Structures are given as C-alpha cells and as structure tokens.
Structure 1
Amino acid sequence: MARPKSEEKRLHLLEAAAQAVAERGVGAPTALVATMAGVAEGTLFRYFPTKEALLNEMYLYISEQGWSSVDTSFDPSLSLIERARRIWDAHIDWALAHPVWNRAVTQLSVTDILTAETRAAEMAMFPDVHMLELVQASDVTAGHPSRYADALFIAVANTTIDFAMREPGRITEYKDSGFLAIRRMFFD
C-alpha cells in the first residue's frame, strides 16, 4: 500500500523546484529538484505526474504567495493610479524579500510551459480586473497577447528590483522611477 502524501513534502518539493529554476532555469532536471528536496526522484513523481505539472503548480503556489502580499494593501476605493501604485510597491517589496521565488516565476512566465489553466488561475488572483482591462487596451499593448504586457511589466519590475538590491539605500527612488515607467507605458 502506498504511503499517504504529505502536504509538507509537497510544499517542500515546490520550494525546491523554485530554487532549481532560479539557479538553472526551466531546464533544471527533476533529479536536481528531488536532491534539493531531500527525496528520491520517484517520490517527486508520486506528487507531480510530470515536470510540467510540477512547474505549473510551483508557479501557482508562488504567485499565490505574491498576490497575498498585494491583497493587504489593495483598496478598491482608491483611484486607478493609486491602486496601481500600491500593487507595484507591494510586488517590488515582495520580490525583494523573496528573490529566489521572483526569479523562478519570472523565468516561467515567459515560457510555453505554463498551461492556459495556470495562466487563467493566476489572473483570477489579480485583485483589479478593471486595471488589467485598461492595460490590455493601452496604446502600447493593444492588439498584442496579454503575455506581452506581462513581459513588459516584468522587465521594468526586474530592472527596478535589480537596482534596488544593488543599492538598498535607494529602493524608494527606484520604485518611484519604475512606477513612473509603468504608469507612462500603461496608464497615460
């Protein structure tokens, strides 16, 4: 009889997958993930039938952690720009606090590994559907797939994060400048 699956072990595998992807990219072998988690590779496949399933679940798990940090600062009664700024600041703060997770989701977000269901589930976590609609209708992104807007946001966010990590005394300045770029790109 097979042993029951442990939620703790599943989460540990997801976190090891994030570490492996952050270090080696999406091509990181499942054997490395298993080693990082301290389990046999066969155990990994008891929890996740394929590497793609593992990476999709890892992406959603980390996205959920990131969006939960945004939820604490989100206030739908604020203006669009104030809501966007709060989401921006919360995202940058979360990424600075979780650089490995940010690297992992950044790498996965621009691949074809993520399923349509995973992308839809992540978008369902976003606290402001109206904001997403405006971004998709902006002069910059109109007519392009939503992944294009995501990639633009990620590029500005990761540049902001990289410079903020190099110069922690200037985090606020970099967040301000990065948000100005996002605002001009999507909302002006």
Structure 2
Amino acid sequence: MARPKSEEKRLHLMLAAAEAVAERGVGAPTALIAKLAGVAEGTLFRYFPTKEALLNETYLYICELGWASANESFDLSRPLIERARHLWDMHVDWCLANPVWDRALSQLAVTEILTKETRAAEAAMFPDVGLMEQVSAGEVLAGHPTEYADALFLAVANATIEFARREPERVEAYKASGFAAFRRMFLD
C-alpha cells in the first residue's frame, strides 16, 4: 500500500526544483531535484507526474510568494503610475531578498514549459488588472504574446536587481532608474 502524500514533502520538492533551476536552468535533471530534496527520484514522480508539471507548479508557487508580499500593502485606489511603482519596488525588493526564487522565476518565466493554464493562473494572481490592461494595450506589446512582455519586464528588472546586488548602497537609485525604463517602455 502506498504511503499518503505529504504536503510538506510536496513543498520541499518545489523548493528543490527552484534551487536546481536557479543553479542549472530548466534543463536541471530530476535526479538533481530529488537529491536536493533528499528523496528518491521515484518519490518526485509520485508527487508530480512529469518534470513539466513540477516546474509549472513551482513557478506558480514562486509567483504566489512574490505577489503575497506585494498584496499586503497594495492600494488599487492610487493612481496607475503610483501603483506600478509600488509593484515594481515590491518586486525588486522581494527578488533581492530571495535570490534563489528570483533566479528560478527568471528562468521559468521565459520558457515554453509553462502551460497556458499556468500563465492564466499567474495572470489571475497579479494584483492590478488595470495596470496589465494598460501595458498590454500599449504600442510596445500590441500583437505580441504574454511571454514577450514577461521577457521585456524581466530584462529590465534583472538588470536593476543585478546592479542593486553589486552596489547595495545604490538600491534606491537603481530601482528608480529601472522603473523609469519600465515606465517609458510600457506606460508612457
């Protein structure tokens, strides 16, 4: 008789997947993920039917963690640019505080492994539909897939985060400059 699945073990497998993806990209083998989780590779497949399922669930879990911190102080009544700046700052701060999650998120967000269902679930988590509609309607993204928007956003965010890590005393200046670039690309 199979042992019941544990939510703790499931979470531990997703944490290990994030670590492996952060270290080796989406090509990280399931054997490495299982090793990082301290389980047999067969155990991984008891919880997730495929590596793709594991990576999709891991991506959504990382998104949940990231947006949870932003949602705590998010105020939809503020003007659009203020809301965008707040979300930008929260994203950069969260990524700086969680480098493994950040690297895994950056790898997974631009991969074809993510399903349409995962992308839809991610979009549903985003705390500001109005901001997303504004960005999607702009000339930069007109007619392009969501993945392209993710890649452009991540390029600016990752540059901001990388330089903020190199020079922590300039975090606020890099956040301001990165947001100015984001705003010009998507909101002006």
Q: What residue is the counterpart of 2:183 in the other structure?
A: 183
Q: What residue is the counterpart of 1:85 in the other structure?
A: 85
Q: What residue is the counterpart of 1:102 in the other structure?
A: 102
1:2 match: secondary structure: coil
Unaligned stretches of 5+ residues in structure 1 = none
- Alpha-carbon distance between aligned partners in 2 of 1:91 and 1:75, rounded to the nearest angstrom: 15
1:177 aligned partner, one-letter code: S
- Alpha-carbon distance between aligned partners in 1 of 2:5 and 2:146, rounded to the nearest angstrom: 36
1:27 aligned partner, one-letter code: G
Deviations 1:148-171 (A, max 9, x none): 111111000000000000000000
Q: Sequence identity of aligned pairs in percent? A: 73
1:112 match: secondary structure: coil
CA offset at residue 81 of structure 1? 0.2
Deviations 1:126-150 (A, max 9, x none): 0111111110111211121122111
- Alpha-carbon distance between aligned partners in 1 of 2:162 and 2:119, rounded to the nearest angstrom: 25
Q: What residue is the counterpart of 2:141 in the other structure?
A: 141
Q: What residue is the counterpart of 1:56 in the other structure?
A: 56
Is 1:168 aligned to 2:168, yes or no? Answer: yes
Q: What residue is the counterpart of 1:131 in the other structure?
A: 131
Is 1:155 aligned to 2:155, yes or no? Answer: yes
CA offset at residue 73 of structure 1? 2.3
Deviations 1:71-104 (A, max 9, x none): 0121011000000000000000000011111111
Q: Assess if the C-alpha contact under 8 Å between 1:73 and 1:90 holds in 2.
A: no
1:74 match: secondary structure: coil
1:73 aligned partner, one-letter code: S
- Alpha-carbon distance between aligned partners in 1 of 2:7 and 2:179, rounded to the nearest angstrom: 38
Q: What residue is the counterpart of 1:29 in the other structure?
A: 29
1:65-84 → structure 2 map (5 Å cutoff):
65-84=65-84
Which sits farther off after the overlay, 122-131 or 136-145?
Answer: 136-145
1:175 aligned partner, one-letter code: K
2:112 match: secondary structure: coil
Q: Tell me how many residue pairs correspond in the alignment.
A: 188
Normalising to structure 2: TM-score of the pair?
0.99
Q: Assess if the C-alpha contact under 8 Å between 1:73 and 1:87 holds in 2.
A: no
1:3 match: secondary structure: coil
- Alpha-carbon distance between aligned partners in 1 of 2:147 and 2:20, rounded to the nearest angstrom: 24
